Amino acid sequence: MYLKVRYYLIKFKKANIIILKKLKKEDYLELKLYYLITLLSTLKKALKVVIIKKLGNLIKEYKLLPL
């Protein structure tokens, strides 16, 4: 199971980056004249929540941590 989960988590680390020019600039050769907007995978976030909840239930069920 670890290998399957690890594979999916690595796969979901990809992001889409949108590059926008800042308005009214003369020379666009400098990187600071652009906005970078990162769009992360929503599926990654949802999968992470499911895994955390499942691990929490297993920890409670098998009393792996003293509470």
Question: Mind listing the pLDDT tens digit for each residue in 6-63?
Answer: 555 666 667 788 899 989 888 888 888 898 888 777 777 787 888 889 989 988 999 8
DSSP of the chain? -HHHHHHHHHHTT-EEEEEEEPTT-S-TTSGGGEEEEEEE-HHHHHHHHHHHHHHHHHHHHTT-S--
What is the model's pTM?
Answer: 0.44
Phi and psi dihedrals of 27, rounded to 5? -120, 115
* Residue 12 exposed, middle or buried by CB count within 10 Å (0-12, 13-18, 19+): middle
Question: Mind listing the pLDDT tens digit for each residue in 36-50?
Answer: 888 777 777 787 888
